[in-house]
């Protein structure tokens, strides 16, 4: 298991290089530039000023040289200055905003896992009965309703009709509730649907029937025998899901005024902030690769056959 983890971490290096190269080429293949009036709308900079800035940022150099310089600096943790937020470095922005997005995503995923597993287990145990219909309905609503629509609904309900929580901010635990619930609903619906399908398959398996025939109670049969095997397909979702919610959500962070990384990424895309785009993409890549490694190691903990 240890050697497997080390080899996976070593493969992370060429994976990130390939991701950085593809992102770099796509950015520069897109028409316009950070200094182009077409890209920025009404840009008051004169051609001479744009030329000087391009020389200052190194945008006048060949693409291969720009990429080599970026990789060399990125290895040292230096992603340069932001083109949009000119007084701040990209590293400062990432270090300030990523912990906020990670906290929000962690709380949302925790609620999604607990709620999704509960709904999925109840739906499987009470198939085609009241709990099943209720669980499937909640899961469908969570997946189908966009998070910005859900955010507005929660604000109206819990900030105006029943004033329990503020409409936004990030200065106290009370301000965390609504954005966390909003971000958790879609993952919870997905987890519930996968748990239900997996549990329905497992509770009809031969070893589950054997456990019941031996006289085991319903609790040990469900939680010790069925759930452990049913979790393997569900765990597969958690790696990419955590990477998605843990690196920032533009709509949720914007609506609730959460100072996370999601809004910076979208603004960097519209402003063609090359250093910020590259840094966020690489951050997401590292996070996704690490979470997939954690998922693979979790497989071995759930099923010894996979470990061996």
Q: What is the pLDDT of residues 124-163, one digit of tens each?
A: 888 888 888 888 888 888 888 888 899 999 999 998 988 8
Alpha helix segments (H runs only) across the chain: 2-29, 37-40, 47-57, 63-75, 90-125, 130-144, 147-155, 173-202, 206-213, 218-220, 227-246, 250-255, 261-270, 274-302, 304-307
Query: Residue 115 corresponds to which tokens in the numbers above?
Result: 């709620």
Evaluate whether residue 264 is within a structural domain. yes
Q: Which two tokens stand for residue 151?
A: 């955010």
Reduce the DSSP state of residue 101 to 3 states and report it: helix
Total domains in the chain come to 1
Q: Which domain holds residue 100?
A: 91-307
For residue 75, the model assigns a pLDDT of: 84
26 inside domain:
no
Q: Does a structural domain hold residue 52?
A: no
CB 106 within 8 A of CB 185: no
Distances in Å between the Cα of 142 and the Cα atoms of 125, 198, 233 are 21, 19, 20
DSSP 8-state code for residue 45:
-
pLDDT score for 180: 93
Q: Give the CATH number for residue 229.
A: 1.10.3720.10
Whether the CA torsion 38, 40, 44, 47 is positive or negative: it is negative
The two three-digit tokens of residue 246, written as one number: 């843990």
Residues 56, 130: Cα–Cα separation, whole Å: 66
- In angstroms, the CA 100 to CA 259 distance is 7
Q: What is the largest CA-CA distance in the chain?
A: 85
Does 13 map to a domain? Answer: no
For residue 36, what pLDDT is reported? 61
Domain assignment present for 157:
yes
The tens digit of pLDDT for each residue in 197-237 reads 888 888 877 777 777 777 777 777 777 777 777 888 888 88
- pLDDT (0 to 100) of residue 113: 92
Quote the CA–CA distance of 69 and 216 in Å, as a whole number: 64
Spans in the chain with pLDDT lower than 50: 37, 39-42
The whole-model pTM stands at 0.82
Is 199 inside any structural domain?
yes
The answer as to whether 118 is a domain residue is yes
Q: Does residue 257 fall inside a structural domain? A: yes
- What are the tokens at 86? 């000119």
């Amino acid at each position: 298991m240890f050697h497997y983890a080390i080899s996976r971490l070593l493969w992370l290096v060429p994976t990130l290089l390939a991701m950085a190269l593809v992102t770099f080429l796509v950015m520069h293949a897109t028409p316009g530039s950070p200094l182009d009036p077409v890209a920025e709308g009404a840009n008051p900079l004169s051609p001479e000023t744009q030329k000087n800035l391009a020389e200052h940022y190194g945008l006048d150099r060949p693409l291969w040289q720009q990429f080599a310089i970026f990789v060399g600096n990125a290895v040292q943790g230096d992603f340069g200055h932001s083109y949009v937020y000119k007084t701040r470095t990209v590293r400062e922005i990432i270090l300030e905003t990523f912990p906020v997005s990670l906290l929000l995503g962690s709380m949302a995923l925790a609620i999604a896992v607990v709620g999704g597993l509960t709904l999925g287990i109840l739906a499987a145990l009470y198939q085609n009965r009241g709990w099943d219909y209720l669980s499937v309905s909640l899961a469908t609503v969570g997946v189908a309703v966009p998070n910005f629509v859900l955010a507005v609904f929660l604000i109206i309900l819990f900030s105006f009709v029943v004033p329990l929580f503020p409409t936004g901010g990030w200065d106290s635990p009370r301000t965390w509730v609504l954005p966390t619930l909003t971000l958790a609903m879609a993952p919870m619906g997905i987890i519930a649907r996968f748990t239900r399908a997996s549990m329905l398959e497992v509770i009809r398996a031969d070893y589950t029937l054997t456990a019941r025939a031996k006289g085991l109670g319903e609790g040990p049969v469900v939680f010790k025998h069925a759930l452990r095997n049913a979790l393997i397909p569900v765990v597969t979702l958690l790696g990419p899901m955590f990477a998605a919610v843990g690196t920032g959500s533009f709509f949720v962070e914007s609506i609730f005024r959460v100072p996370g990384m999601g809004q910076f990424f979208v603004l960097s895309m519209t402003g063609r902030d090359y250093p910020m785009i590259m840094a966020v993409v690489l951050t997401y890549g590292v996070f996704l690769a690490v979470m997939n490694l954690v998922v693979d190691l979790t497989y071995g903990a759930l099923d010894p056959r996979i470990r061996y």
